[in-house]
Amino acid sequence: MAIKELNRKRRGHAFYPPKAVAKKIPALGKTDGEGDDAVVHLHYFSGAADWYITELDVESGMSFGWAEMYPGGGEWGYTDLVEVEAVNTGLVVIERDLHWEPKPMRTALADRVMHLYH
């Protein structure tokens, strides 16, 4: 992705996925109707907030997936990753999970619950 990163130095790693990973992520609208069977290709996090990305427009940074800002408060929708990458409140910067392995949404949410409550 050729989108400029504002917080790369602070984050210490690339916010956007490598080209090889980005090529495997379905375009916007391609997983419509799959629900919890949609594969999560990217995971972003900060504190208790998580973004699980199932679709991506690599040119604009617009994505679709599940966003959960606090436990139990998640929903499907569009997320502008350019805006998410720009978040820098002094204490908070959003990070890409560098160890993420693609998995169905239902598995990602189950893993999140296990991580938060155990």
Tens-place pLDDT, residues 59-115: 999 999 999 988 888 999 999 999 999 998 878 899 999 999 999 999 998 887 766
Q: Is residue 13 part of a domain?
A: yes
Q: Is residue 75 part of a domain?
A: yes
Buried b (16+ CB within 10 A) or exposed e, 42-80: bbbbbeebbbbbbbbbbeebbbbbbbbeeeeebeeeebe
The DSSP H or E segment spanning 42 is strand 42-46
Q: Is residue 2 part of a domain?
A: no
Give me the number of domains the chain comprises: 1
Q: What is the pLDDT of residue 72?
A: 82
- What is the residue range of 105's domain? 8-117
Q: Is residue 3 part of a domain?
A: no
Q: Is residue 1 part of a domain?
A: no
Q: Is residue 40 part of a domain?
A: yes
Q: What is the pLDDT of residue 116?
A: 59
Q: What is the pLDDT of residue 28?
A: 98
For the entire predicted model, the pTM comes to 0.91
Q: Is residue 105 part of a domain?
A: yes
Q: What is the pLDDT of residue 20?
A: 93
